[in-house]
Chains A and B, each alone.
Chain A
Amino acid sequence: GAVVSQHPSRVICKSGTSVKIECRSLDFQATTMFWYRQFPKQSLMLMATSNEGSKATYEQGVEKDKFLINHASLTLSTLTVTSAHPEDSSFYICSARKSWLAGGWEGTDTQYFGPGTRLTVL
């Protein structure tokens, strides 16, 4: 199996607050997790790559101090949106890829997505 969960599924917060989103691989170990955001009717945009036990790699234009990523274990990565503003409102999706031991060549290339978190900042 390859099930990825996200929590919460929906969050509404006031401007200036911080929001934490969790991404968990439920039935496999994920050495690498990815965080995306998706605006309405647009495709997924990669924000950052999260590697277990090391610092995340951010895509160009993504503020690392605003979007804090922690990948503390092989099954959990968190994204914290700090001092959220209305323009941060979006659909945030994580994905996870299996470790080599768990998935082999094909398994490590396939990314399995969580159900997403819809963030609304008022």
Chain B
Amino acid sequence: EDKVVQSPLSLVVHEGDTVTLNCSYEVTNFRSLLWYKQEKKAPTFLFMLTSSGIEKKSGRLSSILDKKELFSILNITATQTGDSAVYLCALIQGAQKLVFGQGTRLTINP
């Protein structure tokens, strides 16, 4: 059965800290891995990763995929209170369905 496991499930840090969120997976027909940020409403798209070892970057956020070890990380540097959210990792299989992890609830305290 296809599986996406995120860790930690919950993380509380101070503003300015750097955080690393993890996503490991088991999937039979991997196509892409996506990261989303969910605040009070629906998820907003952050990154899509298809190839191993190529870092994607957007401002203070970056992400990389390791297809050999079957995991991805999402880094956020110099965190701000506005980064507080649930971060979701999802896989696209061959059937083009998204399989979501449980999410990491990130809280940034001022």
Task: Let me know if B88 is at the binding interface, CB within 8 A.
Answer: yes
Contact status of A106 and B43, CB under 8 A, knowing A43-B88, A43-B103, A46-B98: no
A93-115 vs B, Cβ < 8 Å mask (1 yes, 0 no) = 10101000000001011111111
Most B CB within 10 A of own CB, among A2, A44, A112: A44
Closest B residue by C-beta to A9: B41
Number of residues of chain B lying within 8 A (CB) of chain A: 20
Interfacial chain B residues near A111, Cβ < 8 Å: 34, 45, 98
Contact status of A49 and B97, CB under 8 A, knowing A112-B45, A115-B42: yes
Query: What is A's interface to B at a CB cutoff of 8 Å?
Result: 2, 6, 32, 34, 42-44, 46, 49, 93, 95, 97, 106, 108-116
- B42, A114: Cβ atoms closer than 8 Å: yes
Bound together, the chains give a CA A30 to CA B42 distance in angstroms of 18
- A113, B42: Cβ atoms closer than 8 Å: yes
- A46, B32: Cβ atoms closer than 8 Å: no
Bound together, the chains give a CA A115 to CA B42 distance in angstroms of 5
- A32, B50: Cβ atoms closer than 8 Å: no
CB-CB nearest 7 A-B residue pairs = A113-B42, A116-B42, A43-B100, A109-B32, A115-B41, A93-B42, A113-B43
